[in-house]
Amino acid sequence: MTNFIEILIRGLMLGSVYALVGMGLTLVWGVVGIVNIAHGEFVMLGAYLAFWAFSLIHFNPLLSVALAIPIFFFAGMTIHKRITERLTKAPELSALILTFGMSILIWNLAQFFWTNTYRSVPYLTGSFPFFGLVFAKSKTVSFFLALGITAALFAFLKYSRLGKGIRATSQNSEVALVCGINTMRMRAVTFGMGIALAGAAGTIVSLQWVIFPQMGASYVSKAFAIVVLGGLGNIQGALAGGLIIGVLESLTTQYWSAKMAQIIPSMTILLILLLKPTGLFKK
Amino acid sequence: MRVERKEEKILTIDGLVSGYGKMEILHGISLSVRRGEIVGLIGPNGAGKSTVLKAAAGLLKVTSGKVVFKGEDVTGTPPYRIVEKGMAFNPQGRVVFPDMTVQEHLDMGAWTIKDRQEKEKSLQRIDQLFPWLMEKKKRKASQMSGGEQQMLSLARAMMIQPKLLLLDEPSLGLSPKWVKTVFEKVVEIKESGIPCLIVEQKAAMVLEYSDYGYVLEMGNNRFEGKGRDLLTNPDVRRLYLGG
């Protein structure tokens, strides 16, 4: 029983980080209307940011989250203004193809500059006991970081002026426009936030897993499963979806095999689309 | 049938050509809204009534012609700048943010108002106009009836203390009782000094309330005149009011 609870909690910890990636994807999809296939590449870039900051100047990897959020936010806004903004009125397929190309470009550049060597950030290793359960330090810290960012995101969207403008734009962009909201700017800010969430998630995963140029692929597939689970554009749904995927992965790894855990995202997408295409949660 | 209208022009649209992308809908529309007026804009489906409003509010590209608001040429101004100048727009159909509360709608309506006191003044005004709304501040729009949503949208538009109110088919999908309530509210708004330009499918209804009316057909001006004159005009009756 203690073992089961431990596995469950590990799943939630894992899922909290997946949720960050998923929330970024669903936010951009819902508000900007762009399916960003390159979303996972920003997780990878975030992980490399933490790695290089740590190995070059011994920058504390826990603080690299704070570094990543503004950097990725402004990078995301710039990418949107220069490249993806023109896609908001184009057919969805154009966005798919463009961001797919972007994804390939980014991980190839990463491979070119940083090689295929597996990297890791040796910080906060080891584990600690907690009421008879055992948890990895890095994963526990990651969990709280992810929860903190999630809470900040929710509060921002609910209470801040900009957050309300973003919600208004996503729920009815015509009415938002006639309220005097610059919806184009809202979309750029949202794109930046989506990329910032991916980058932040990247710095967090650098604490727990190996870093390599193609690592984004597994995160983007999980993020898609999360978006499908939670319902398109549904942020709370994505949080729940992320936790569900994390727990499923943790349980499958423990009671079946790590290989089987790899098929969870695609199985989830398949089942949800067959049984409840609007996602598990009402918006 | 033209009548002399002496009041100051709040909105003048002159030879407006506009449409969606390459599809031209309006082929040179002219109309005006003067101080103290409700102006009705009617015509069959596809006449371009809504397009006129959207082009005036800056939501559509104007190919040629002019939109003059309070003596200032605002042709091609982005919508969020036009709002700041005091033109409020109540669009057609989906008029609310379904997942947002009444309070949040009013906040969004006041998006361009920086001054706290001005916003407070607007809220007091809304409280007078829609007292029941202020009792439902925490209600989400999706939990309200179509009529309530339309009123919420009106309240939202009124937050900028507009100098002109554009309404696109406010009666759409409402019960006759709500239609009457909405129009009476519009009259109240007009009487408080805010002229209104209303596009309506329910032509006879809107002319009843209008000081002046325009009839469009296929993106061109067809008739114009005082609301009551248009109502009794045999051509207008036969063509647009169903006999």
Give residue-wise pLDDT tens across range A158-214: 999 999 999 999 999 999 999 999 999 999 999 999 999 999 999 999 998 899 999
| Confidence band for A1, pLDDT divided at 50, 70 and 90 | low
Dist. CA B104–CA A136, nearest whole Å? 43
Give residue-wise pLDDT tens across range B37-54: 999 999 888 889 999 999
| Confidence band for B243, pLDDT divided at 50, 70 and 90 | low
Contact B97 A176 (CB under 8 A): yes
pTM given for the model: 0.90
CA distances from A45 to A58, A127, B172 (A): 18, 27, 50
DSSP chain A: -HHHHHHHHHHHHHHHHHHHHHHHHHHIIIII----TTHHHHHHHHHHHHHHHHHHH---TTTHHHHHHHHHHHHHHHHHHHTGGGGTTS-HHHHHHHHHHHHHHHHHHHHHHH-S--B----S-SEEEETTEEEEHHHHHHHHHHHHHHHHHHHHHHHSHHHHHHHHHHH-HHHHHHTT--HHHHHHHHHHHHHHHHHHHHHHHTTTS-B-TTTHHHHHHHHHHHHHHH-TT-HHHHHHHHHHHHHHHHHHHHHT-HHHHTTHHHHHHHHHHHH-TT-SS--
Torsion of CA A213, A215, A216, A219, to 10 degrees: -170
Judged against a pLDDT cut of 80, whether residue B185 lies above it is answered with yes
| Confidence band for B7, pLDDT divided at 50, 70 and 90 | confident
Selected residues 148-207 of chain B with any CB under 8 Å from a CB in chain A: 153, 156-157, 160
Mutation to test the B interface, candidates A178, A182, A235, most B Cβ within 10 Å: A178
Q: Provide the percentage of residues in chain A whose pLDDT is more than 70.
A: 99
Average pLDDT over chain A reads 92
Contact A182 B153 (CB under 8 A): no
| Partner B contacted by A177 (CB < 8 A) | yes
Sheet holding B87-90, edge to edge: B87-90, B164-168, B196-199, B38-42, B212-217, B220-226
Give residue-wise pLDDT tens across range A56-75: 999 998 899 999 999 999 99
| Confidence band for B3, pLDDT divided at 50, 70 and 90 | low
Tokens 């990463």, residue located: A110
Interface pTM, i.e. ipTM:
0.90
DSSP 3-state assignment of B180?
helix
| Partner B contacted by A91 (CB < 8 A) | no
Structure confidence at residue A282 (pLDDT) = 67
Question: Given its phi and psi angles, is residue A115 left (phi above 0), alpha (psi -120 to 50 degrees) or beta?
Answer: left
Beta carbons within 8 Å of A71's beta carbon, 6+ residues apart: A49, A199
| Partner A contacted by B16 (CB < 8 A) | no
**Residue count of chain B:** 243
Contact B78 A165 (CB under 8 A): no
Going along chain A, which residue ranges are E strands? 127-130, 133-136
Question: Given its phi and psi angles, is residue B175 left (phi above 0), alpha (psi -120 to 50 degrees) or beta?
Answer: beta
Radius of gyration in angstroms for the set of CA atoms belonging to chain A, rounded to a whole number: 18
Dist. CA A82–CA A61, nearest whole Å? 30
Dist. CA A162–CA A179, nearest whole Å? 13
Structure confidence at residue B102 (pLDDT) = 96
Beta carbons within 8 Å of B127's beta carbon, 6+ residues apart: B134
Chain A residues with beta carbon closer than 8 angstroms to that of B109: 179
Selected residues 112-141 of chain B with any CB under 8 Å from a CB in chain A: 112
Structure confidence at residue A258 (pLDDT) = 87
Nearest to A171 among B89, B98, B156 (CB): B98
Contact A181 B157 (CB under 8 A): no
DSSP 3-state assignment of B128?
helix
Judged against a pLDDT cut of 60, whether residue B1 lies above it is answered with no
